[in-house]
Amino acid sequence: MSRVVYTTFTDTADQESLRAAHGVRPVAAAEEGTGVNALPGGVYGFTYTPGLPNAPLFATRRFRNYEIHKLASGETFVIAFADTETARRIESASSDLGVRLKPEPAGDAATLVAIPYSRIRQHRQYAAPNQDGFLVTLGPVSTGLSGLPDHSDQEPG
């Protein structure tokens, strides 16, 4: 019988910056297992069921868990990784778009994306830990919903 060994997950600098920009804290021990819909704004946690309105959040990242942010405003985001071209398409979609997202950087999927729940049109009701990503259909972009920090007003360099 073989033994499965999971590695320790290291957050990327982009994930840490996005948490700060979103103003979220880790879900508290007393809140763990609570559906994101029932949690107060300003929290983040990890789940195997990204995109569900009542996805239970936990403070500790597990193998292929997805990060979820619930902003103070109540808006909820799936935080994931995609390849550069997919990330570009997510940011500029003018019609529904099917994509595969990964819970952590892997291969070409190294670009952080923040997907508002409001854009999710269709998805599987779960993301099994042994699957190669989360398949989701997103609606078109609405102004101000990217969730990623806007650096357009900064000077280059």
pLDDT tens for the chain, residues 1 to 157: 555 555 567 888 999 999 999 999 999 999 999 999 999 999 999 998 888 889 999 999 888 889 999 999 999 999 999 999 999 999 998 999 989 899 989 889 999 999 999 998 876 655 555 567 888 889 898 744 444 444 444 444 4
Q: Give the closest residue to 67 by CA, choosing from 106, 17, 102, 39.
A: 102
Is the residue at 103 inside a domain?
yes
Is the residue at 148 inside a domain?
no
Instruction: State the pLDDT at residue 90.
Output: 93
Is the residue at 3 inside a domain?
no
Is the residue at 7 inside a domain?
no
The three-point CA angle 152-144-123 to 5° equals 120
Is the residue at 62 inside a domain?
yes
The pair of three-digit structure tokens given for residue 125, joined into one six-digit string: 């009701």
The pTM of this model reads 0.81
Compute the distance between CA of residue 57 and CA of residue 84 in angstroms, rounded to an integer.
Answer: 28
Is the residue at 5 inside a domain?
no
User: In degrees rounded to 5, what are phi and psi of residue 85?
Assistant: -65, -40
Is the residue at 115 inside a domain?
yes
Q: For the chain, what is the domain count?
A: 1
Is the residue at 6 inside a domain?
no
Please give the residue range of the domain that contains residue 60.
Answer: 13-138
CB 9 within 8 A of CB 60: no
